[in-house]
Structure 1
Amino acid sequence: MHSSNTLWTRRPGLCVAGVIGALLVVRAAIVILSPIQLGPDEAQYWRWSQTLDWGYYSKPPLIAWGIAAVSSLVGDQEWGVRLLAPLAHGAAAFCLFAFGRLAFSATVGAWAAAFYLLMPGVALSSVIMSTDAVLLPMWSASLLCLWRLREKPGPWTAIWLGIALGGAMLAKYAALYLLVGAALSALLDRATRRALISPFGLIAALVATIVLGPNLAWNAAHDFATVSHTADNASLSAVSPDLSHGLKFLIDQMAVFGPLSFICLVAGLFLRRSVSDEHAKSTEIWLLCFIAPPLFVIAAQAIAVRAHANWAATAYPAASVLLASWIAYAPWKPWLKISLGINLLIGGLIAVLALSPSIADGLNASGGLKRVRGWEETALQLQTLTANTDTTAIMFDEREVWHGVDYYGRTLKLPPLRSWRRLDQARSHAEQAGAMRPGEDKNVLIASFREDFIPRISADFANFRPAGELRVSLGGNDVRTLRLFRGSGYAPLPRTADYEARFSSSESD
């Protein structure tokens, strides 16, 4: 025991790195052994990684760069696409350890890493590839560098802060909340204000701009495609307030951060006694500047329109440090530790489902896995249908199907994959990359997932006839059905007001 305490006292960073490394090995093994197929979004990120650029239709480029780097070493099989996820989350956890140690103590830093790594959202995000997996490490590094700049301003800290901020923006534009948090902390905290309104703050801003600059230039050259998509996701033009959506959002946050962890976070903000330690008090306020904005803004968006559970994920790196700091002196310390135990159990369940997804069928929960099942079978059936035929292209009317077949058809002999456009302009990467080329419309196999689109698709072809259907079991009672047609003479009708009126009236009958 004495030697263990000595090792922790002398080398806490090494101890934490060892624990994080051990968990990473376990999660990497789960990724490698999991039979779960890539989902459509993961397949889309893989497609981007095949052609490196400074931006893509719906996201900045960092996720594509990361997948390209890892898959170039291990291959582009499913686990090669996903392997970056557990590694990146491990890096985020170590940044939070370093932040907690700098702001409080090595013990708080270790607890912060534990709260982060055991979050159910991170456990899930460690076995799939998502933009959060590349955003949260950059976000955590930004928090660390900004705090260090606050405590000990210097040129190198400013440079690293600029790199981390720019990298976060290259991961996901939700990193804008970092700027909101920095502005709030500068407003409320004199030390942060002094650090940012200085030559070092200017250096950080310049470096961040240099890092992000090529992506902004790419957007300008592509009609601000990524920016427009991000704005469309907000759907603020379709405001329809519903308080029940806000309640659902709060429940979803329990699933992301952990049920008891989230309750402790909220309860702690309202029920804790005032802190006499001025350093602890100012640090809590500083952390809240990075917790509150994403939670409140996304909660308001959920009430007004809609919001996915992970859209507020950027609140939880700082929240992990805050909960860890409370363990040192909060009266509900046992509850905080119990919350970690609950999160560990949830993470274990996620691991079991990742390794044995058939368990979900026995629990009548196969619907939760239908987006990561059946894509290989779908691609194989399409290969059989088009083999020894003069099929010139396969056209889809759903981006998810296009991406699933694109990835799982990468080693098959399939005709070119094309995507039908509902509007004149492309509204997804599939529609952008899958535009019909000249000469490809002589014998098109249309595989329609959207039955309501069939009359519109038919009107875009000179000749259009039924050709059966394709069915793929997704587990349980779920089946993916694609209605098949043969078409030729593709000449899309102008998407005018008359066009909309014509089909809207027929669809309402």
Structure 2
Amino acid sequence: MTPSDSARAWRLTLCLVGVLTILRLAALFATPFELYPDEAQYWLWSRSLDFGYFSKPPMIAWLIWATTAIGGDSEAWVRISALFLHAGTALVISRIADRLYGGWTGLVAAALYALMPAIQLSSGVITTDAPLLLFLSLTIWAYVSLPALEGRRRLAVAAALGAALGLAFLSKYAAIYVLVGLALHLATSPGARKVWTWPMALAALAALAVVFAPNLAWNLSHRFATLEHTASNANWNAAQLFNIRELIEFLVSQFAVFGPVPFAVLTGGAIWLGVKRRLQPADLLLLCLAAPPLLTVTAQAFVSRANANWAGVAYLAGSVLAAAWLLRWNARRWLVAALVLQAGFCALFMACMVNPRLADSLGAANSFKRVRGWEQGAKAIIARAREEQAAGGLTSIAMDDRFLFNVTAYYGRDYFRVPGAPPLKMWVHEARPQNQAETEAPLNPAFGRRALIASLEGDYRPEIEQDFGRTSGLEIVRVRLDRKHVRRMDLFVAEDFRPLPRDPVTGLPPKPKGER
């Protein structure tokens, strides 16, 4: 490929990513969809910046703090960084592919990544995946750039690699997969080992340690809360281990996450070229990066459970590999099919974002139910709180579910800023806090003298009632999400909070009378 061809491919990449980002930006500001409860939780974290939080490292809170400082606290400004981060990742992937295979591969790799169904979804919400993928792509770009550099430039890029990896760890601990992948490549490739010197390795490790140190210190001072939560998500103590159904569902979900054609090309190509021993050096590097998350999460799905996005790190390298193999095999029809399918999904998803009735008419209402109805529910809670304040006063508003706590904090933010408003608290279900809200805002006897309780779906209402001396004024609020789904909240006043001791073995409250 000539330099002019590479430059042309880069210009087309910029146009593709730029147009797609503009369309996503328009959809983001036009959508009526509300914040998902985890997004509301991240917003709540951003009101009090720290170097770590109960379930995640701090990067996502820092990003939301920055964007809301610019544009305010609306849903679009809470989410806006995600689509720019993914746009940046697509451009970096293009440079990685250009370095390894050439500019046209860079264009195709960027297109496969930018049009990936999971990336379309992730561009419309704010999650830890967006900064994670950008910083990991920068880490990989630095790694593939090292062989072409010399002297101080090579040392500087090695340090930048460590810093980018540190920022990835500040985003999500799934960054460990790329660290494992790089180690695996160095172990299997003598040529890769020759690039590195001890000063370069020390520079990379020092930069990683310096960047990641604040979060490590936070975990040390908080009994490794985030690391413990991350480990608990594995759920290896589940009653049913070796779950074939979970394994199959996870593998099938990857066709939806990456796209049916790219995932088939990635897995089929890896097996075929591996058996035939026709892997090029660049193929080996990218497989070393893609394999650890895919194999690890597949095994996790088999022994317990796994969310579809847990292996998302694999598709940074996977996008480049799928693009390289489609072009190497001259599989133009498959490439066109992949891009058309994924572009069609992107267009449909953005149309549903702007017009939720379209999603309802297509039978996809269930997919969007968690971004609907929260504001209406929060308004009902606040309206009842105002009534009770006028009648006899409240010492707190307490929730039994972290989702409800987070969205009420967000959609009731103006109310809770008013002097004299009762504070928002969490009724702690078990002996130990299970989330950030229970850790930072637990209900206690002082705030439980006269509390308005909001119980999501009423699931824990009997347990809550036995922790109080008196309860009164039950009100059941039903929020219609679509034609089929309704969300229920039980609102009632509870007085004289005296929580019963939790079971020393299970940590759970005693069962209410009449229940077995």
**Quick one: which of 109, 112, 127 aligns to 1:112?**
109
State TM-score, norm by structure 2. 0.92
CA distance in 2, matches of 1:73, 1:274: 53
1:267 corresponds to 2:290: no
Q: Deviations over 1:166-201 (max 9, x none)?
A: 011000001111111011101111132233453212
Residues 431, 508 of structure 2: 8 Å contact kept? no
Describe the superposition over 1:389-421 as per-residue Cα deviations: whole angstroms up to 9, x where unpaired.
212211111111111111101123553211111
Could you give the per-residue CA deviations for residues 214-246 of structure 1, whole angstroms, max 9, x where no partner exists? Answer: 000001001111001001111112251111211
Instruction: Give 1:81's aligned residue.
Output: 78
CA RMSD of aligned residues (A): 2.2
Deviations 1:44-69 (A, max 9, x none): 11111111110011000111111111
Query: AA paired with 1:454?
Result: R
Aligned residue number for residue 404 of structure 1: 407
How far apart in 2 are the matches of 1:419 and 1:146? Answer: 46
Aligned to 1:152: 149
The change in CA–CA distance for 1:363 and 1:352 in structure 2 (over 3 A counts) is same
Matches within 5 A, 1:245-264: 245-264=246-265
Deviation of 1:145 (Å): 0.8
2:48 paired residue number: 51
Give the corresponding residue for 1:328: 327
Q: Which residue of 2 aligns with 1:174?
A: 174
Q: How has the CA–CA distance of structure 1 residues 210 and 456 changed in structure 2, closer, same or farther, with 3 Å as cutoff?
A: same
Select the residue among 60, 65, 70 that pairs with 2:62.
65
Q: In 2, Cα distance between the equivalents of 1:92 and 1:106?
A: 16
- Identity of paired residues, percent? 36
Aligned to 2:42, the other structure's residue is in SS state helix
Q: Please say if residues 86 and 119 of structure 2, whose CA atoms lie closer than 8 Å, have aligned partners that are also in contact.
A: yes
SS at match of 1:446: strand
Q: 448-457 or 78-87, which moves further after superposition?
A: 448-457
CA-to-partner distance for each residue in 1:336-380, whole Å, 9 max, x for gaps? 231111111111111111111122222333222121111111111
Deviation at residue 139 of structure 1 after TM alignment: 1.1
The answer to whether the aligner puts 1:473 opposite 2:480 as a matched pair is yes
Q: 445-454 or 77-86, which moves further after superposition?
A: 445-454
Q: What residue number does 1:349 align with? A: 348
Partners in 2 of 1:408 and 1:174 — Cα distance?
31
Contact 1:467 1:484 in 2 (8 A): yes
2:428 is aligned with 1:425: no
Q: Match of 1:371?
A: 370
**DSSP-derived class of the 1:481 partner:** strand
C-alpha contact 1:186 1:196 (8 A) present in aligned 2:
no
Which shows bigger deviation, 332-341 or 30-39?
Answer: 332-341
CA contact (8 A) 2:83 2:123 kept: yes
| Per-residue Cα deviation, 1:77-116 (whole angstroms, up to 9, x for no partner) | 0000111011000110111111111111111111111111
Cross-structure match for 2:191: 191
The structural deviation recorded for 1:258 is 0.5
Task: Give the unaligned 5+ runs of structure 2.
Answer: none
Contact conserved, 1:99 with 1:147, CA < 8 A, in 2?
Answer: yes
Query: Hey, what does 2:504 align to over in structure 1?
Result: 497
Shift of 1:434: 2.3
Q: Map 1:173-252 onto structure 2 (within 5 A).
A: 173-196=173-196, 198-238=198-238, 240-252=241-253
The 1:501/1:118 distance shift into structure 2, 3 A limit, reads closer
CA contact (8 A) 1:169 1:176 kept: yes
**Which runs of 5 or more residues in structure 1 are unaligned?**
none
**Amino acid across the alignment from 1:377:** Q
TM-score (norm 1): 0.94
> C-alpha separation between the residues in 2 aligned to 1:492 and 1:164?
47
Note the alpha carbon deviations across 1:301-342, whole angstroms, 9 max, x for none: 111111100000000010000011113321534212311111
Relative distance call for 1:227 and 1:507 in structure 2 (3 A) is: farther
